[in-house]
């Protein structure tokens, strides 16, 4: 259905769409215009995957890039003892609602648990982002609770739902 692979230069125009307009970025994940070319610069610097963060392209059965998944080292206790990964996802609008978000988040969690020794994969989303909450639950993440007014978007502070998947969970 979909697979993950390293980002290439050819993917950049598609992946840059997430910062180009609210419609492309997603109604509930638009935080304003970003400096263009950040992915191109990371590629040029050979830094799409480092020890502390990474991005992989999401590719469909026809080889089309349909979005990306990313992760960043986060912590809930004194580093490095409290380290975990926090993951995020963006899909192009025309490929949403096909199950790709569920599968891509299942695959990125498996990838990180297979290739790094951290125990906990976290994901957060606004309480209003029902598609992402359903996708995370279907991908085997557990809803843990709500962080109140944790993220500013669209002129107001928003409550965020925290999900996690731990090593060994299906
Ligand atoms: C959020 C996102 C990753 C979900 O991925 P997706 O491929 O669209 O979702 P899926 O097809 O896997 O569907 C997951 C569930 O959400 C439901 N769903 C999909 N779009 C929905 C919507 N707009 N409203 C409510 N439910 C929705 C699906 O029906 C499915 O539930 P079901 O199995 O009970 O029917 C994707 O829509 C996206 O990239 N959105 C823009 C960026 C974004 O919001 N990223 C997350 C920021 S935290």
Q: What is the mean pLDDT for each group of 10 consecutive residues in the chain (170 residues)?
A: 97 96 96 91 98 98 98 96 98 98 98 98 98 98 98 98 98
Nearest CA to ligand 1 atom 7: 101
Write down the pLDDT at residue 70.
98
Q: 69 φ, ψ to 5°?
A: -120, 145
- pTM greater than 0.85 (yes/no): yes
Cβ of 29 closer than 6 Å to ligand 1, yes or no, is yes
CA of 45 to the centre of ligand 1 (A): 32
> Minimal CA–CA distance to 92: which of 15, 169, 29?
15
H-helix or E-strand containing 126? strand 120-126
All domains in the chain, ordered by first residue: 2-118 (3.40.630.30)
Write down the pLDDT at residue 36.
79
Residues in the chain: 170
Write down the pLDDT at residue 49.
98
């Amino acid at each position: 259905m979909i697979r993950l692979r390293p980002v290439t230069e050819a993917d950049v125009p598609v992946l840059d769409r997430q910062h180009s307009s609210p419609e492309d970025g997603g109604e509930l994940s638009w935080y304003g215009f970003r400096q263009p070319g950040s992915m191109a610069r990371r590629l040029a610097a050979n830094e799409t995957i480092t020890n502390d963060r990474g991005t992989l392209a999401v590719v469909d059965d026809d080889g089309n890039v349909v979005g990306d998944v990313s992760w960043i080292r986060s912590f809930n206790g004194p580093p490095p003892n409290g380290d975990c990964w926090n993951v995020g996802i963006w899909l192009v609008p025309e490929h949403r609602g096909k199950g790709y978000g569920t599968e891509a988040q299942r695959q990125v969690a498996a990838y990180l648990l297979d290739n790094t020794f951290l125990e906990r994969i976290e994901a957060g989303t606004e309480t209003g982002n029902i598609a992402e909450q359903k996708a995370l639950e279907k991908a085997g993440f557990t809803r843990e609770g709500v962080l109140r007014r944790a993220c500013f978007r669209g002129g107001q502070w928003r409550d965020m739902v925290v999900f996690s998947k731990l090593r060994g969970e299906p």
